[in-house]
Structures are given as structure tokens and as C-alpha cells.
Amino acid sequence: MKKFKRSARLVEMTQYLMSKPHTLIPLTTFADRYGAAKSSISEDLAIIKEVCESEGTGELLTLAGAAGGVKYIPKYALEQAKPVIEALCAQMGHPDRMLPGGYFYITDMLGQPSLMNDIGRMFASVFSNHDIDVVMTVETKGIPIAYATAAYLNLPVVLVRRDHVVTEGSAVSINYVSGSQKSLHTMTLARRALKERSRVLIVDDFMRAGGTINGMIELLREFDATVAGVGVLVESEDVSQDERLLHEYVSLMRVKTEAVDPRTKQLNVALGNFFDKSGK
Amino acid sequence: MKKFKRSARLVEMTQYLMSKPHTLIPLTTFADRYGAAKSSISEDLAIIKEVCESEGTGELLTLAGAAGGVKYIPKYALEQAKPVIEALCAQMGHPDRMLPGGYFYITDMLGQPSLMNDIGRMFASVFSNHDIDVVMTVETKGIPIAYATAAYLNLPVVLVRRDHVVTEGSAVSINYVSGSQKSLHTMTLARRALKERSRVLIVDDFMRAGGTINGMIELLREFDATVAGVGVLVESEDVSQDERLLHEYVSLMRVKTEAVDPRTKQLNVALGNFFDKSGK
């Protein structure tokens, strides 16, 4: 057992807590780890809690009793999320990003792991109080967002495939119609990938009418599982309310390709409903 | 400007440094942030440095001079990596994982973001001194490993696709022969996804003869880019040295399907060369 000074202990405890989000850690774990009295550990935790809460980086939940301990809940303060997403909106607005069919080139954004971590932390923050067993996405572009979200929530990721994959054993496939293009697609999930009655947070990079996400919801029914929430990085407003297949979701950005300024060719990209829902 | 006590400052600085790996942070940033003298900041950094180094969680590089500052380099101590990978080897050894054609079901492992972060941190640790511009993988299973590695190295991710994707604009495609099965495949990379003369760390989940990774290396040539390193989670030893297309790589696990114990049906899964290369 190493002996730590308080200052070193605070550094190490902070690292330890940050590396184990949404995990109940008994006070005795820290007491044993640092060879310190529980009362000292409690004082340290009070300091960490105060910093996390005043900086908006997280909450430190203390659970009393024999099965008690402390749990670090990563958060993303709205006033800190806003400039990050505003900068992203400005990047998104560039006319070079428009592709045929109402799609956007956002691969460069999705290729920035630190940005994906920011986005995942935002979703983890807004869904932190939901009862969720697993984070789901469909390949390929939603994957980094799903992993970042799931890492902060300490949950596994389930990946829906476009085709049946030989290395995943027996699988369930469904056909679904994309809402905006009315074309038929397939998605597949390995039988052993999802437990029955799981509560699932669905995450994706882009949503227009919501056909793909609706497909995932349909797939969940095959596993007797339910949706616990939906989070999308970008929602397109190029669909009418009638065409929209999904109404309950959290978006970080909204884009409307129709509203292109003819002079600057700048797209109209705005903050998503995340900034309404999270309150204030 | 907020005023922080030393204890609170240590907690906040630790969080700040951990969230910005491989990023040079000028001391004035901290001095301004906490309303503290540079000498106090230096003392704090010395405490954080000592904890990181004694716990094996990272290095804190201090660069002197006008352009100086501090840089946090995440590390994974070998003695801490070993039990994590040994536990993984035990999981891998289960006969249920064997699939036709010498493949393995490891989707459940790849679906654990905290494990992916561990693995990414191990690769980031061993490649921390290499001169790398970008981390590359091919869809789909290598993606979480690539993002975790790149996040700890503070680098972007470039994703090679199996097919041409409409939302990524013009692209370069190559055909390659998988070394073990002698079958022909295609891989594609968007023109704007990779800058010329980039130094690339290639990461993947599974390697047999190395045909897929060799394909990526061939693709790099089209972009005038070079390989800075190769990291794989699992290497299969079911290929002879002659069949192997690649000899310079870091693996975390080695599996040999031929060496199955006929009674227990346990596969022979051993630690990879990571545990030789990292020394000690």
C-alpha cells in the first residue's frame, strides 16, 4: 500500500474517477488505495465534487450505506457546449459540404476524435438520468459518436450492420423504407449482440425524415427491446412535419439546405434542440 | 478570473490535462485560468508529473522557452496492461468464438468502449514517440480501436471504406488480394480524406497474413503517404512466415487455432509482441 500526500491523492483520485464514469466506487477502495482514513477520502471527494460542479464538468454522486460509494457522472455545461457547437455550425455552413441528394460531407468532422468525445459527452450529459442498458448505432458514420457517448455512460455499444457479416453468427434482418427517398434498405443485427428487454439509446450522425432510426426501432422490436432515447448530431429541416417519422430526439445541429443565401452560398446551420431541452 | 485554492487547482488542472493529451499548453494558460503565479503552477505540475509517472498513467513533458509549456502524454504501464490483456486472452480462448474460415467472434469485446479505451491507450503509449499525422483503419471493426488510439494521441482518424460512398466525393480505389484466402477485395479512400506526405499509423482488430493492412499501405502510396506504424489487437499465428505479408507491427494478442486442446476445446491465446517490444 502506497502512502499518498493529500495533493498527490487529489490528482490520482481525479484521474481514477475520470477513467471510470458512471461506476460506483466504494469509499473503502480509495481508503485502501491511498492508505488514508475514510474521513480524509470524504474531504478529498468534497473538493473534487466542488470543482466538477463549479466547472460544469460533472457530478459526484455519493451513495450512503453499506453498498454505498461515489459515482462520477460526466456532464457538459450548456454554456460550454454552445461555443463548440456554434463553431461546428459555422464549419457545416460551408457550401463545399453540400453533396447531391441533400447529403453533406462531414467525414472530416467525424474524423476528429476530440470533437467526437465532446459530442459523446454532450449526449452522455443529457441522457445521464435515463435508464439505459446499451448504446446502438448503424454503421458507419455514427460509430465514433456512439462509442464516445457509451464510454462516458459506461455502457456497451451495439452495432447494426447494413449486410449480414459472416463473423457475427446468426442474425436478424429487417427491411425499411428511408422516409425521404422512399427507397428500400436492409439492416441486420447479430442474435447474440443484444439481450432481450434491453433499454436502448440510439445515436446517429445525420437524420432527415428518420427512416434509418425508425428502422433501428423496428429492429429493437425483434429483440423485445425498447428505445430509451435518440440522439443525432445533425437533423435536416428539409422535411415537412408530415414526412418526419420520428418526433422524440435530441439534435445538436439543424440544417436547412433550402435556405441557402444565393450570394454567399452559406448554408443555414443552427443550434439543435439540445440547447432547448437541456433547460435554461 | 476565478481564484482557486491549490487543492481545487490540482483537481481542475488534472482534468484539463487529461482532456487535452499531446497538446502543448503554455504555463500562462494555467496562470491566467487560475489567477496564480507561474511558480505556483510549476509546483502543481511537479505534483501531477510525479503522480502520473509513479502510477504509470502518463508523462508530463515540460518545454522551456517562449514557445514552451507542458504536454501530457498518456501512457499505459506494461505491468498494468498485462492483466488487462491476459483477461482478454482468457475470454478469447473460449471455443464458442471460433467461426468458419478461421475467424473469431469478438464483436462483444469490441462493443466495450472502456476496453477499447484501454487498448487505444496501449497503442498510444507504444507509438507516443513516433512522428504520426493521422491514424487509419478500414471499416468496420477497427474503428473503435482507431478512434481510441487517435484520441489519446490527439490525431485525426482516416477511415478506408470497402465501397465507394456517395457522401464522400471523389475517391481512390485499389484492389488487393487477401493473403490467407487469396480472394480479391476493394478498398476506397476519399481524395480529400488524406493529405499528401502524411505519416500514418495503421490500426486494425485482426490480422492473419496481413493482406488488408498491406492493401492500406498500397493505398497510402496513391496519396504519397507513408506508414509510421501498425498496431493490431489480435494476430493469428495460423500462417507461415512465408505467407506473412507484413513483419513490422505491434500486436496485443496472438491466437493459434491449430493448437486447440481436444479435451477442453480451449484455444491457445497468448500475449502479443507488445509485451516484448515495450521492453522489460
pLDDT in tens, A108-150: 999 999 999 999 999 999 999 999 999 999 999 999 999 999 9
- What is the ipTM score, two decimals? 0.94
**Does the CB of A101 have a partner CB in chain B at under 8 Å?**
yes
Residue B278: the pLDDT is 53
Q: Which of residues 32-51 of B touch A (CB under 8 A)?
A: 47-48, 50-51
What's the pLDDT at B104? 79
Nearest to A51 among B11, B111, B112 (CB): B11
CA atoms within 13 A on the CB side of A97: 21
Query: Residues A44-53: what's their mean pLDDT?
Result: 96
Q: Which of B11, B50, B111 shows the shortest C-beta gap to A48? A: B11
* Residue whose entry in the numeric block shows the C-alpha cell 445533425: A234
CA distance B212 to chain A (A): 16
Chain segment A242-265, per-residue pLDDT in tens: 888 899 999 999 998 776 666 776
Q: Give dist(CA A78, CA A122) in Å, integer.
A: 9
- What residues in B contact A11, CB-CB < 8 Å? 10-11, 14, 47-48, 51-52
A148/A120 Cα distance (integer angstroms)? 5
**B210-243 per-position pLDDT tens digit:** 999 999 999 999 999 999 999 999 999 888 888 8
The beta-carbon neighbor of B99 closest among A20, A143, A169 is A169
Cα-Cα-Cα-Cα torsion B159, B160, B163, B167, nearest 10 degrees, comes to 40
**Cβ(A8)–Cβ(A33) below 8 Å:** no
pLDDT at A2: 63
Enumerate the residues of chain B whose CB falls inside 8 A of the CB of residue A2.
54
- Each residue of B73-126: pLDDT tens digit? 999 999 999 999 999 999 998 888 877 766 778 999 999 999 999 999 999 999
Specify the residue for cell string 441486420: A188
* Mean pLDDT of the residues in chain A: 91
